[in-house]
Amino acid sequence: MNVTVIGSACAVSPEERALRDLYLEHGPALYSYVLRMLGGDTHRTEDILQETLLRCWNKQTLADGEGMAIRPWMFRVARNLVIDAHRTRAARPAEIGGNSWLSDLCAEADDIERMLSSMVVRDALRSLTPAHREALRATIFADRTTQQAAEVLGVPQGTVKSRVYYALRSLRTALEDNGVS
């Protein structure tokens, strides 16, 4: 089975060779033009470029050299395809089309989740003894070593280590009691 890709170097027919030459001559400029129109969306740009070349292929004027100015025609076709795609997306209801409402909803849900998580953690921290809270603040929250925290707190380093250990253990239990795994 002999398969020839349209526009490939092994193109057999004059139309296929003409399409390849057309792509090589106008493709980069057309790609840049469409990419600017689409705000840098490379996937949609490639789709528009492919559809434009397909329409050239269907027009059947590639190898004829009918004197038609093909470059302006290709740019006009690409521009119209971009406009049509934009209008199609704009005409769809928000539930079907673009997902800006979905990203807004997800961002709002993330904010709510973050707020609820902070409330649960705050309540769990309140359940600790003052000495345990102080040890966590001096180490984890202040980004200090246990030796540095011991100097700040005025207690031995071993005491800071054990307070942090038991504080984290109690914190884990309090969080589990509130349904946080």
44-102 pLDDT, tens digit each: 999 999 999 888 878 765 544 555 678 888 889 999 999 888 888 777 765 554 556 66
- Percent of the chain as helix, strand, coil, to the nearest 5: 75, 0, 25
The C-alpha angle with vertex 61 and arms to 55 and 65, in degrees rounded to 5, equals: 140
pLDDT greater than 90 at residue 161: yes
User: What's the number of CA atoms in the CB half-sphere (13 Å) around residue 88?
Assistant: 6
What is the token pair recorded at 105?
A: 């909803």
The alpha-helical segments, DSSP class H, found in 38-99 are 42-59, 70-91
At residue 178, the pLDDT reads 75
C-beta separation of 30 from 77 below 8 A: no
**CB 63 within 8 Å of CB 14:** yes
Encoding tokens for residue 144? Answer: 């200090």
Q: State the Rg of the chain over Cα.
A: 32
Ranges in the chain annotated CATH 1.10.10.10? 100-177
Q: Give the residue, 66 or 166, on which the prediction is more confident.
A: 166
**Quick one: CATH architecture of 100-177?**
Orthogonal Bundle (1.10)
The CATH topology of domain 14-91 is: Rna Polymerase Sigma Factor; Chain: A (1.10.1740)
Those residues with Cβ within 8 angstroms of residue 101's Cβ, 6 or more apart along the chain or in another chain: 94
Residue 2 has pLDDT above 70, yes or no: no
The whole-angstrom separation of Cα 135 and Cα 115 is: 24
pTM, two decimals, is 0.44
Tell me the pLDDT tens digit for each residue of 95-151: 554 556 666 667 777 777 777 778 888 888 899 999 999 999 999 989 999 999 999
Residue spans in the chain of domains classed CATH 1.10.1740? 14-91
Cα–Cα distance measured from residue 181 to residue 161, given in angstroms and rounded to the nearest whole number: 24
Q: So what's the pLDDT on residue 62?
A: 56
